[in-house]
Structure 1
Amino acid sequence: MSYLEKKAWVYAVVALVVPVVYAAILLARTPAGGIAASHYVTPMIVAIAGAIVLNILATAVAGSGAPREARGGDERDRAIGRLGEYVAFYAVSIASVVPLVLAMREAPYFWIANSLYLAFALAAFVSSVVKIVAYRRGL
């Protein structure tokens, strides 16, 4: 398994696990006024920062055995990376319609912020899955 494929696996796991943990924390701390009344800002910031740090650390661990030359990849790796980023762009573009509609309907900030966070998390996960499939089945 190449360094960039390992990096895609790390990104997929982090993009899936961190939002699930974030949602579990929100649900566990739901106030009597409903989930929309919860204090979500700090947990969301921690989730975003935690995902960044986890990605950096896990990628460093996954790539610790790879030689420096292998980290750049070849033309196939660059094509797979582009494909994953194209798909992520379309995923976040389509998923961003939800927070846009919520804002137009003047929904509570909780729903707008969390749907936008979900859009970015979904794009990261979909991008990683596309890259993994491209590595496994060929491009």
Structure 2
Amino acid sequence: MVTCCWVNDDAVCGAEAEVHYSLPLCSDHLNRYHRSKTYTIRQSAAIHGVEAFPGYCYVVLLPDETVKIGYSNTEETLKRRFRDLKREAEKEGPGFDILAVMAGGCALEAVLHYRFEKSRVPGPGERFEFSDEIQDFLATAPRLSLAA
């Protein structure tokens, strides 16, 4: 068994963990790590607006009815990422769907991960339950049209 390496008040967590980002972290501390890792990006987005950041943020529906929120820096890498995600999803079954592509790259991704934190599915892959909150956001989210 691997144990969590997170230290609080000079005490190690010690809960059962999986290795993420080369660190053994339990699901609670993995979420804390994500929040701390993106804090500066979220603060910059609040000041400058996510539109000031290059790249694309995407939301896709996966066959297990979870959503993945990710980003790519260029249109070329975005299309490649969609091909890879679709290929991975087809192993699980039908149901891969691109729900939105938006401006803002890693900044919008960080903001959305924080906003929908309560819907995060434990483990790697930055997946979220397809909650009412996410569906409401997608109903009004500004989308980009990309060339085929």
Q: What is the TM-score with the length of structure 1 in the denominator?
A: 0.26
Question: Which structure would you say has the larger RCO, counting Cα contacts within 8 Å and 6 or more residues apart?
Answer: 1
Larger Rg over CA atoms = 1
Q: What is the TM-score with the length of structure 2 in the denominator?
A: 0.25
Relative to its length, the structure with more strand (as a share) is 2
